[in-house]
Structure 1
Amino acid sequence: MTTILVTGGTGTLGRLVTERLRADGHEVRVLSRHSRPYAVDLREGGPGLDTALTGVDTVVHCASTPRGGDEKAAAQLIAAARKAGVRHLVYISIVGVDRVPFGYYRAKLAVERLVADSGLGWTVLRATQFHDLVLQVLEALARVPVLVLPAGVSDQPVEVAEVAGRLAELAAGAPAGRVADMAGPEVRTFESLARAYLKASGKRRRVVNLPLFGAAYRGFRAGGHLAPERAVGKGTFEEYLAARARGAR
C-alpha cells in the first residue's frame, strides 16, 4: 500500500477521505494548520511541508478556504511535492468553476490549472455542493424571522461521504487528469431545500425569494454549478437531514 498525504485532513471532506484510505490499508498522513505531527500552513510552506511530503507517493489536496490564499497554498504544495518526488496529486474542485464568475470559484479554477501544469501526475474531480454546506447556509439564513432566498436558483447537493469514497478510489489509482464530475441525485430549487430544512428542524419561517444582481448570480441562476447529466450521488438532502436528527453525524 502507498503512503498518502491528505491536506485539510481534519476538515469535513478530508477527515472522511483519511478514514476511507486508512480502512483500505494505506498509510495516511494528515496535514492541517493544527494537526501534529504535520501542522503546516500551506500558504507559508517551509521545512514542515518538506518533512510531511518525505516518502509520500500520493497527495490528496482537500485544503481550501473561501477567505483567500488557495492559489498560494497550491503553489507551495506543488513545489514541495515536485522536490519530494510525489507521483500523483489529486485535487477536489467544484462543478461550475469555469462557468460561474464567483470569486471562490475563480480561485478553484486557478488551482486546477496549477495542478494540470505542475509536471506531476494529476487527477481533478469536480463535485457539486455538499449537503453540509447547504445546511450551513440555511441555518444562517434562518436566524431571522424571514428566510430570504436567491430567486430562481437551484442546487444539486451531494453526500460528502460519497465524494470522499470517490477521492479515495482515485488516490489509489493512476493519475487520470480531469475525471467525470460528481453531482447529487436531484436538482432542487433552493426553496424546496429550504422548506425541507424547516420541516426537519421544526422552525417556522416566512420564505421570500429575492432577485439579486451581478454576473455570479446570473451564473448560478443559469445552472452553471449543476451537472444533471452526472447525478451519480445516492443520498438525498432529506436523508441527510434525517441522519443528522438520528445523531448519525
Structure 2
Amino acid sequence: MTTILVTGGTGTLGRLVTERLGARGHEVRVLSRHAQPYAVDLRTGAGLDAAVAGVDTAVHCASAPRGDEEAARNLVAALRQAGVGHLVYISIVGVDEVPLGYYKHKYAVERIVEESGLGWTVLRATQFHDLVVSVLQGLARTPLLMPVPAGVADQPIEVAEVADRLAALAEGAPAGRVPDMGGPEVLGFPELARAYLRATGRRRRIVPVRLAGATYQALRAGRHLTPERAVGRGTFAEYLAKRFGPAS
C-alpha cells in the first residue's frame, strides 16, 4: 500500500483528492494547518519532517495569497530529506503569461518543483466553477448594474474532474509537465454573468467595462485559456443548476 501525503488536504480540491486516493486503498496523510495528526504550517516547516517520514508520494494542493514559495521550499527540503520519490503539483493555466501577482507566485513554485531534484509532475488547470461564481457574486453586488471585463472569457472546470486527474497522476510515475486541463466551454463574461443571474433569480444590466494594464491585456488575449485542451465534461450551467437549483 502506498503512503501519499496531500497538502491542503481539507481544502476544496485537496479534500476530493484525499477521498479518491483513500477509496483506491492508499494510506493518505492529510496535511493542513489545523488537521491532526499532521497539523503543519508549511511557511514555517514546523512538524513537517514527521509528516513526510515514510511517504512515497506528495500531492501539493496547499496554496495561499502569501507565502507559497517559502512553503514550497520547506516542503521540497523535507521531501528530499525523507527520500520521497514523487511530488505532484497543481498549478493554473497561464501562470507564465498572465502577470497577476498570485500567478507569478504559482509559476515560481512550479520552478521550485522542477528544480527540486525530486521526481515531479505538474498539472495546470483552468479556473474551478466555484471560483468563477465567487467573482460573479462580487460583480453583482450593486443592485442595478453588473460590470464585467470587456472582451474577457473564461473556461471553468469541475473541481472533481481535476481531483480525479491528480489522484491518477499521484498513482503513476513522475511525468514532468503533463497536458493542461481546461473546462468544456470557453464563455465570455457577459454569457457567464447572464447564466449566473438566471440561476440566482437576480436582475442586473450587464455592462462590459474596458480596463487598463498588462494583466487585463493578457486576459483579453486568452492567455489563461486552453481551448485545445477542453477535456472537462461538467459545464458551468450544470454546476449552477446543482448549486442553485433549476433556473426559473
2:172 corresponds in structure 1 to: 173
Secondary structure at the residue paired with 1:16?
helix
Tell me the residue number matched to 1:113. Answer: 111
> What is the CA distance between 1:111 and its match in structure 2?
0.4
Q: Equivalent residue of 1:138, what SS?
A: helix
From 81, 84, 87, the counterpart of 2:85: 87
Letter in 2 for 1:55: G
| Paired amino acid for 1:51 | A
- Work out the CA distance in 1 between the residues paired with 2:85 and 2:134: 36
Once the 2 structures are TM-superposed, how far is the Cα of residue 245 of structure 1 from its aligned partner? 2.8
Where does 1:40-79 land on structure 2 (aligned, <5 Å)?
A: 40-46=40-46, 48-65=47-64, 67-79=65-77
- What residue number does 1:30 align with? 30
Match of 2:198 in 1: 199
Cα contact 2:147–2:206 (8 A) shared by 1: yes
Q: Is contact 2:80-2:118 (8 Å) kept?
A: yes
Q: Quick one: which amino acid aligns to residue 106 of structure 1?
A: K
CA offsets 1:185-228 (integer angstroms, 9 cap, x no match): 00100110111010001011121111001101100110000000
- Matched residue SS, 2:55: coil
TM-score (norm 1): 0.97
Look up the match of 2:124: 126
Tell me, in whole angstroms, the C-alpha distance in 1 between the residues paired with 2:18 and 2:193: 31
Q: Secondary structure at the match of 2:211?
A: coil
The alignment yields a C-alpha RMSD, in angstroms, of 1.0
Distance in 2 (CA, whole Å) between partners of 1:153 and 1:24 is: 40
Q: Percent identity?
A: 72
Report the counterpart of residue 214 of structure 2 in structure 1: 215
Q: Secondary structure at the match of 2:104?
A: helix
SS of structure 2 residue aligned to 1:45: coil
Q: Distance in 1 between matches of 2:102 and 2:194?
A: 27
Aligned-pair CA distance for 1:52? 0.7
> Can you list the C-alpha shifts for 1:221-246, whole angstroms capped at 9, x where unaligned?
10000000000000000000111135
Contact 2:199–2:245 under 8 Å retained in 1? no
- In 2, distance between residues paired with 1:228 and 1:159? 15
Opposite residue 215 of structure 1, the aligned amino acid is A
Name the CA distance, whole Å, in 2 between partners of 1:34 and 1:135.
Answer: 27
Equivalent residue number for residue 5 of structure 2: 5
TM-aligned CA deviation for residue 168 of structure 1: 0.1
Aligned counterparts of 1:81 and 1:190: Cα–Cα separation in 2? 41
CA distance in 1, matches of 2:200, 2:219: 26
**What SS does structure 2 have at the residue aligned with 1:68?**
coil
**In the aligned structure 2, how far is the partner of 1:173 from the partner of 1:233?**
21
| TM-fit CA distance, 1:38 | 0.8
2:73 counterpart letter in structure 1:
A
Choose from 78, 100, 104 the match for 2:102. 104
Instruction: Count how many residue pairs are aligned between Structure 1 and Structure 2.
Output: 245
SS of 1:204's equivalent in the other structure is: coil
Aligned to 2:240: 241
Q: Provide the C-alpha distance between the structure 2 equivalents of 1:152 and 1:2, rounded to a whole number of angstroms.
A: 47
Gaps of 5+ in 2: none
For 1:188, the equivalent position in structure 2 comes to 187
Residues 74-124 of structure 1 deviation map (CA, whole Å, 9 limit, x = unaligned): 000000110111110000000011111111111111000000000000000
Residue number in structure 2 paired with 1:18: 18
Distance (whole Å) between structure 2 residues aligned to residue 246 and residue 191 of structure 1: 21
Give the Cα–Cα distance (whole angstroms) in 1 for the partners of residues 202 and 51 of structure 2: 46
Flag as ranges the 4+ runs of structure 1 deviating above 3 A: none
